[in-house]
Structures are given as structure tokens and as C-alpha cells.
Amino acid sequence: MTRTPATAVRPVRLWRWRRNPLRRHSDVVEAWIVLASWLLVLVCGVLAGLLAAQASAASYAARLARVHPVTAVLTDPAVTSPSGSGYDDGRVWATVRWTDADGSVHTDRAKVAPGAPAGSSVTVWADRADRIVTSPVTGASADLQAALTGVLVGPAAGTAVWCAGRLVRGRLIRRRMAEWDEEWKQIGPRWGNLSGGRG
């Protein structure tokens, strides 16, 4: 006895966009929701990424405008700390002194390279109140961090839009299943009668 090879069922591509007797209005709506979701994912992801990168770059520029570099002098040697935590950058705290353009002398503590002798010149960053602050992100580092912010925010925004589209599509599918259930309740008994009449 020879076996008949099973016929492979090929999926019909874009069937929701083609006229056919099985296509319902909800199928067309679902097709438009899928298309709109993917377009919004692309547009919102790119737009959110660009806006996040610009906001990040503006934030770095604003911080840079609030601080300024000063040349200070170590008042004491920068002694190497015996206990490193492994999380620091290898620099140590030391007292530095600098003079403003108006002649005011300021003293504060700043992180400097270890082992520097007293009297060494170091560049530190100060705010408008002449307090030592951490050095701002500038140049290529600022550009890179702004770009990375955009790269991270863009896909996250696109994913949020995609999830919203999936929720809308899921509600539509549940509604369609409920409609099919109601229609089957009406057609099912007649289908059984038709099958019984043929026997």
C-alpha cells in the first residue's frame, strides 16, 4: 500500500489585505493596527533616541557652563592611601589652594594623583561659589555618553509603543473570538442537523 505524500500547506502572505470571503472587518482593522504599530515603533524610537541624546548633550553643556577649571597648588604631599576599595580611580584626597582673578585665595580638598609633592600644580574644577567639584564630562566623552543615552532610550520607547500596539491587538483578537463564539452558537446546531440529515 503506497502512502500519499502529505500536501504542505503554504501560508498566504498578506491575506488580511486581500479580498477573500473569510476576511472580516476586524481582520482589516487588525492589519492596520499592526502596520501603524510598527511605523510608530520606528518613528517614536528614532525620535525619542534623538531627543534623549540632545537632552543629554544639553545637560552636559549646562553643567560645563556652571563650572570652570582652576590651577591650584598642593599644600601637602598627596599621600597614597594604603587601603584601596577597588571602586576608586586611584586618585587620593589632598588639600589644594588657588587664587581667583580678583585676588581671593581659596583652599579646598580635591582628588589628585598619588605621590605628588607639596607645591605641585594641579588642575581642578570649581563652581561659581568657588567650591571644588568633580570634573565635568567634556568633548568626545560627552558626545559618546549622549549618543549612548539615545541608543538606550530609542529602543525602550519603541518597545513601549510596540507593547501598547500588542494590547490593542489582543483586545481586538478577544473581541473577534467572542464574535466567532456567538456565531458558532447560532450555526453549530444547524450544522449538526445538516450532518444528521445526510446520514
State the distance between the two ends of the chain, measured CA to CA, in whole angstroms: 30
How confident is the model over 29-39, as pLDDT tens digits? 778 888 888 99
Residue type for position 153: V
Q: What is the pLDDT of residues 95-144, one digit of tens each?
A: 999 998 888 899 999 888 888 888 889 999 998 888 889 888 888 999 99
pLDDT of 172 > 80? The answer is: yes
Confidence of residue 43 (pLDDT cuts 50, 70, 90): very high
pTM above 0.75, yes or no: no
Asked which of 18-32, 50-64, 129-143, 153-167 is least confident by mean pLDDT, the reply is: 18-32
